[in-house]
Structure 1
């Protein structure tokens, strides 16, 4: 059931909060993507997240809070964590901290750490506050598929039996930055809208885990590290290099796919659309506005599947600013099928 939230429907938030307290799952909006939320203290409800998504049990969940005091009840905060929370919360930053053992192992995947963030979304914060508990919430999609940035995306994956709070499209469009604060030098486990440069301005040196190669073995310390994520049903190839060479390579691959009976689609910046003639092109945004590219990415992948495209040829964007996070997601969506020219 989709409940559209506006100033006249605060009762919908109270209704969803009661559902959370009763052990049910609720899809909630955040500034990043829509989340599939459950009471983080409720083992059975948390297990329901994994069952509904088809999510591997060793993939930890992020816990969403409405205040720093709520976060401190769940994890150990040091001075660096305090400074980061002051600067970036509410916002798209998840901090991995030493757990106090308050949440069940299902949330942490058996690790001694827990990922926590305070979302920059009035509806999400109101839901947490009304429920009176922190919410464990991964993206509200079937595991492995493109994340949802609208209520319609959630309903497409799960149907309308799930209670869905609709607050419109997400403003950021890619998942939060995840940074492990338990190391002497903090390390980014998953890139997002809060970049390495932004973090280093606040607390000094920060490392970044491999963002553009797959994790083959071991337990992931954060979501989005080990398994194939964000992937459309269509096959996908990422093409990167100088603009002219990328365009020529994409045209060659497009025509080759067409001859094989595929239904190919180019995804390219609006500045480059003219290079592809009459070929089908979905505009990702402007190379001058990578935040716009991030915001549109998952919707474009979902739209391509809905339109019946069987192959996607993605024109790489610069790995700078939020473009670093965009390309991390695109590489994973393409199963690291990359052509460099």
Structure 2
């Protein structure tokens, strides 16, 4: 299969492919998604095949308006309506109880719930409206690898496996949306993102549980990214925590890998604070956690282009605000491995 690269002006062609049951990668403000008609079970199953994704990992349904959500779910609560009014289009995904047999189990992972999002990208909103179909849209990458923030990342992983990629330039946020479960008595964040716990609580006026990011080995996850190792490059990532000494990191490299290529990803001020060993490849994550969240997946992917790097030390931050989303992704990239464990 030849994978076409389409411009935003070619959205009609992309919509035609979606209606034919083909797979089309689309841009959002977070990462690039892999789109298929959410009402076409055969097309949805192709998404799992293209990504190599476990079939019990449910998919997020992307919509262009609230009315589409109401076609599939139980009546929306006042909290849901308030959150949609505040954060849609945007980086908040919400899980709702479905009407009976509303969506295929290929979408839901066999659950009676599904996740919905209205992305903040005009090209993709146009694609959904023109196709007339809600679209499933997991990240458009090989399952488990760093999520794609450019069309080129998508092409690297999925060329020859999907029909087309809508190229709308680099994404804005760089980490996936917040996933909020509204199907339970207490709202719960299942995946942190750019929309924070505090922002959600301010809108709905009730406490939000943010301690349910993981599930057991035999449990079906309600949201992507809860169960399997995600976002991981080929190299082993180690997290350097805020209370770690970066000079000690450099000393460890000198003792244990004095000539092997080693990657270091950190804020610019950290990179300047150490007289690094010559074998260390320094990559700036920017000046703050906003920059780091935007750059993390891109830089991890760049290291995958250089297989000689077997170890990457990456700066950790305090898990608050956007830092919670950043650390969630970084911990999964590292498989929970920290410099302290070496």
**Structure-2 separation of matches of 1:269 and 1:253:** 20
Deviations, residues 241-270 of structure 1 (Å, cap 9, x unaligned): 32xx431332133324524x6421111101
2:220 is matched with 219
Residue in structure 1 matched with residue 209 of structure 2 by the alignment: 207
Distance 1:172 1:264 in 2: 27
- Superimposed CA distance per residue, residues 151-201 of structure 1 (whole angstroms, 9 cap, x where no aligned partner): 000000012563000000000110010010012210000000000000000
Superposition deviation, residue 21 in structure 1: 0.4
Q: CA separation in 2, counterparts of 1:273 and 1:227?
A: 31
> Residues 32-87 of structure 1, C-alpha deviation per residue, up to 9 Å, x if partnerless?
10001000000100000001101001100000000000111121211111111111
CA deviation after TM superposition for structure 1 residue 293, in Å:
1.1
Q: What residue is the counterpart of 1:37 in the other structure?
A: 35
C-alpha separation in 1, matches of 2:161 and 2:325: 32
Instruction: Give the SS at the match of 1:208.
Output: coil
Match of 2:147 in 1: 147
Contact 1:2 1:151 in 2 (8 A): no
Counterpart for residue 188 of structure 1 = 189
1:79-115 Cα deviation digits (max 9, x unpaired): 1111111111000100000012321000000000000
Alignment-derived partner of residue 284 in structure 2: 283
Offset, 1:219: 1.1
Cα distance in 1 for partners of 2:4, 2:312 equals 31
Equivalent residues of 1:257, 1:264 under 8 A apart: no
SS of match in other structure, 1:252:
helix
CA distance in 2, matches of 1:13, 1:185: 40
Distance 1:192 1:255 in 2: 36
In structure 2, the residue matched to 1:87 is 86
Return closer, same or farther for 1:271/1:98 CA change in 2, 3 Å cut-off: same
* Greater displacement, 160-169 / 325-334: 160-169
Q: Aligned in 2, Cα 1:220/1:42: closer, same or farther, shift over 3 Å? A: same
TM-score (norm 2): 0.93
* Counterpart for residue 70 of structure 1: 68
Contact between 2:189 and 2:212, CA under 8 Å: does it hold in 1? no
- 1:245-260 alignment to 2 at 5 Å? 245-259=244-258
CA contact (8 A) 1:55 1:143 kept: yes
What is the rounded CA distance, in whole Å, between the counterparts of 1:97 and 1:215 in structure 2? 21
Shift of 1:286: 1.1
Give unpaired runs (5+ residues) of structure 1. Answer: none
Q: Quick one: distance in 1 between partners of 2:271 and 2:20?
A: 50
Q: Could you say which residue in structure 1 is the equivalent of 2:339?
A: 339
SS in 1 for 2:257: helix
Asked if structure 2 preserves the Cα contact closer than 8 Å seen for 1:2 and 1:160, the reply is no
- Secondary structure, in 3 states, of the residue corresponding to 2:339? strand
RMSD: 1.6
Secondary structure at the residue paired with 1:149? coil
Counterpart-to-counterpart distance in 2, 1:98 and 1:132: 23
Query: How many aligned residue pairs are there?
Result: 331
- CA distance in 2 between partners of 1:151 and 1:39 (Å): 20
